[in-house]
Amino acid sequence: MAIKVLGLQHANIRLAEKEQAEDFYGRILGLERDPRMPWNEDRPLMWWNIGGGAQLHTPIGERVNTTPFGMPIGSHFALAVQDVEEAKRTLEAEGIHYDEQTLPGRGLQLFVSDPAGNLVELFQG
Q: What is the pLDDT of residues 21-76, one digit of tens each?
A: 999 999 998 999 999 988 988 889 999 999 888 999 999 988 777 877 787 888 89
CATH assignment, 5-124: 3.10.180.10
Q: What phi and psi values does residue 16 have, to the nearest 5 degrees?
A: -75, -35
Is the full-model pTM beyond 0.95?
no
Q: What is the pLDDT of residues 69-112, one digit of tens each?
A: 787 888 899 999 999 999 999 999 999 999 999 977 778 999 99
Q: What is the DSSP letter of 88?
A: H
Give the CA distances from residue 108 to residues 67, 82, 88, 103, in Å, rounded to whole numbers and listed in that order: 12, 13, 10, 7
Residue 43: how many CA atoms within 13 Å on its side-chain side?
6
Q: What rounded mean pLDDT belongs to the chain?
A: 90
Q: What's the average model confidence in pLDDT over 113-120?
A: 87
Sequence spans of domains, the chain: 5-124
**How far is 50 from 6, CA to CA, in rounded Å?**
17
